[in-house]
Chain A
Amino acid sequence: MLVFAHFGHWLIGLAFGAPALLVPLGLVILNIVDRRREREEQEAGASPG
């Protein structure tokens, strides 16, 4: 029963808390990736040829 109780905590934590934390985290990662891509594109555009 204790195993199930811990499994329950894990599950409820995943369903309630994880999206609430992962969605903002996902947006931050998206922002970083986009900035990096933008910088690479600018560098490629600025390079001769």
Chain B
Amino acid sequence: MTPTPPPPAGGAEISQVIGASAAAAVLMIALLFIGMAHRSGRITWLGRLADWAGAIGGTPGYVAIPAALAGISLVGAAFGFYWDVSLHIDNGRDPGPLANPSHYFILLGLFGIFAAGWLALVLPKGDDRPGPAPVKITRNWYAPLGGVVLMAAASFALTGFPLDDISHRIFGQDVTLWGPTHLMMLTGAAVSLIGILMLLTEGRSNPVPSAPTDGLGKLLTRHQLSPAITRWIRVAAASGGFLIALSIYQAEFDYGVPQFRLLFDPVLVAFAAGAGLVTARAMLGKGGALVAAVFFIGLRLILLVVVTGILGETVAHFPLYLAEAVLVEGAALALGTDKRYRFALVSGVLIGTIGIVAEMGWTHVWAAIVWPAHILPSAMILAVVTGIAGAVLGAFVSGGLQRRVEVVGSPRTWAAAGLSIIVFAGVIGFLLQTNTVDSKAIVTLEDASPPPNRTVNATLRFSDDSVVQNPDWLNALAWQGQDKLVNVPLVAAGDGTYKTSAPLPVYGSWKTMLRFHQGNILSSVPVWLPEDAAIPAPEVPATASFTRPFQDDHSLMQREVRQDVPTWLWTTAGVVVLTLSMVLFLLVGWSLVRVARGGSPERKTSTAPASPGRPAVA
């Protein structure tokens, strides 16, 4: 019998590449053809469809179709994303880009966002220009800013696909969520939420198409909600979606396979809460932050039921954001949201302190990685910084979307937003630095079940046990074994040894290791690693007892990454991705300022007060 060859570790197989490329090309050509045919008047069905959808949705057609398409695409992409990550955790790397079914959802989702952006650009025709500050493409073609942002965000994300494949070829496969090209896809999807919210803002400047006369249209408009409530629901969904999008960066912690310092978790939670909840509260008025948190929990629960309950993959835990939402609501009640940056500052501080304590409590109830109490001081200091950074960005984004010139229109406000990004990046850069512990692992294994599906209980002793003081985690991880991952803490036995609290699989494709994290130390020692000819890497056997040095955690978690790549190549790749990211962020910032400044003077400075009868959606 010929053994099954391992999946390739350096790129995609040619047949799958051709399939994916052909499908993408056909979709793209069809999309471009339909758009240009609509603009030249060769087809009229797209305009009629947009008007019909707009009449039913109570918004201009150029908003109705793109917002709905982008929203559906994002939900599909989010499902694909969480399924994909869990599949990789449970099964290891893919044989190719289409060998994993979740990739279809991600691909189609990102294409859907691109299509939504394109449709938003091409749909507006005639004298009624879209939104208060449309972008002139030609003298008779004006595009809404939301469409420009959607298109740019999707382009950024889609560019991540070919760059990802090239990156795998040069650097080897990076089995981490935080690979630069992976971050491009995630960030593109996240930024598209701002595009949707911007379209919703712009739609208020144009008339809603007249009521449909066909049977289905009449039926759908018969029980239509008031335009204010419909708009509130849309903005609530987009704001909740924004919080979900900001939380995708935490996924490694959600699943229990973080490859970076534990402090990243509270830092990222505070940033997401600051940006997402401040935006939601400012946009929606009273209760807006709570609505966003409930939307977040609801959608994450649905994804959990589908990915784990139905598809049987590893559990993705999640933070609650409820305490942070209450704190943001409290800050808004006490201070109001008109002085946006004061509101943001207080919200950020509350999120980084009380909010983080609450989330720490929640990790003791339900989380893959528990936050130990000793990290609290560091976590709070850093979370206050990133909570404020996120909240200031939320203030800027919501100010632009509400067309509040005083919130986004001056160099001081641009500096505040820019500084927030720089400070957040600085915290990330600081936390990325890690070291390896200078100690050896003396391990004994006791069989819990015999071969061929052998499992073992492990006992660990450090050659220098003084290195262990307050571990952020000391656990055993087994993953990529074609089953749900095993992630169990090591329990101190009292005699200087640490014992696994459940048996570990040491057979087949499982990758089993003991992981130690304390401060900036992030080290691991392999218990069992299979031979992997595609990398290539030799087997590391699970012998009854062994002494092995602790290694850099990344070298075990990302076995596929090549170690012989020159530093300048890494630097160049990082600079390329960073430059593209900066261009996207600058475009979003410019769009927010432009949409706030556009239109009549009285609308530019108006604020929508929150009241139960009139949602503060702007």
Give me the interface of A with B, judged by CB distance under 8 Å: 4-5, 7-9, 11-17, 19-21, 23-24, 27, 30-31, 34, 38
Contact = CB atoms under 8 A, between A and B. Distances in A.
Given A11-B21, A16-B20, A23 B159 contact: no
Given A20-B154, A21-B155, 6 more contacts: A7-B14, A11-B18, A11-B21, A14-B25, A15-B21, A17-B163
Nearest to A14: B21
Interface string B391-405: 000000000000000
B152 A24 contact: yes
Contact of A23 (B12, B151, B165): B151
B155 A31 contact: no
Nearest to B114: A20
Interface stretch (B135-143, B319-327, B442-450, B566-574): B135-143
A38 B12 CA distance: 48
A12 B139 contact: no
5 tightest A-B contacts by CB? A13-B162, A15-B21, A8-B17, A20-B155, A34-B138
Contact of B161 (A4, A12, A23, A27): A12
A48 to B, nearest CB: 24
Interface in B43-69: none
B187 to A, nearest CB: 14
B139 A13 contact: no
A2 B18 CA distance: 16
Contact of B24 (A7, A15, A24): A15
Contacts of B540: none
B21 A12 contact: yes
Interface string B84-120: 0000000000000100000000000000001000100
B166 A13 contact: yes
A43 B24 CA distance: 44
26 contacts: A5-B11, A5-B14, A8-B11, A8-B12, A8-B17, A9-B169, A11-B17, A11-B18, A12-B12, A12-B20, A13-B165, A15-B28, A16-B158, A16-B162, A17-B158, A19-B24, A19-B32, A20-B156, A23-B151, A24-B152, A24-B155, A27-B121, A27-B137, A30-B137, A30-B138, A31-B137
Interface of B: 10-14, 17-18, 20-22, 24-25, 28, 32, 97, 114, 118, 121, 136-139, 151-152, 154-156, 158-159, 161-163, 165-166, 169
A38 B136 CA distance: 13
Nearest to A8: B17
Main secondary structure of the interface of B (DSSP, over half): helix
Given A4-B14, A12-B17, A19 B162 contact: no
Contacts of B118: 23
B151 A12 contact: no
A21 B138 CA distance: 19
B121 A31 contact: no
A17 B20 contact: no
A35 to B, nearest CB: 9
Contacts of A34: 137-139
Nearest to A34: B138
Task: Name, among A12, A13, A27, the residue most crowded by chain B CB atoms within 10 Å (CB to CB).
Answer: A12
A5 B24 CA distance: 19
Contact of A12 (B114, B154, B155, B162): B162
A7 B162 CA distance: 12
Nearest to B158: A20
A15 to B, nearest CB: 3
A16 B163 CA distance: 10
B444 to A, nearest CB: 44
Nearest to A41: B139
Nearest to B152: A24
B113 to A, nearest CB: 10
Contacts of A11: 17-18, 21
Task: Name, among B13, B136, B155, B162, the residue most crowded by chain A CB atoms within 10 Å (CB to CB).
Answer: B162
B162 A9 contact: yes
Contacts of B22: 15
A44 to B, nearest CB: 15
Contacts of A8: 11-14, 17-18, 165
Given A7-B14, A8-B14, A38 B21 contact: no
B153 to A, nearest CB: 10
Contacts of A27: 121, 137
A4 B18 CA distance: 11
A30 B562 CA distance: 43
Nearest to B29: A19
Contacts of B158: 16-17, 19-20
Contacts of A23: 32, 118, 151, 155
Contacts of B12: 8, 12
Contacts of A21: 155, 159
Nearest to B20: A12
Contacts of A19: 24-25, 28, 32, 158
A7 B12 CA distance: 11
Contacts of A13: 162, 165-166
A30 B22 CA distance: 27
A13 B159 CA distance: 8
A9 B11 contact: yes
Contacts of B11: 5, 8-9
Contacts of A24: 151-152, 155
B16 to A, nearest CB: 9
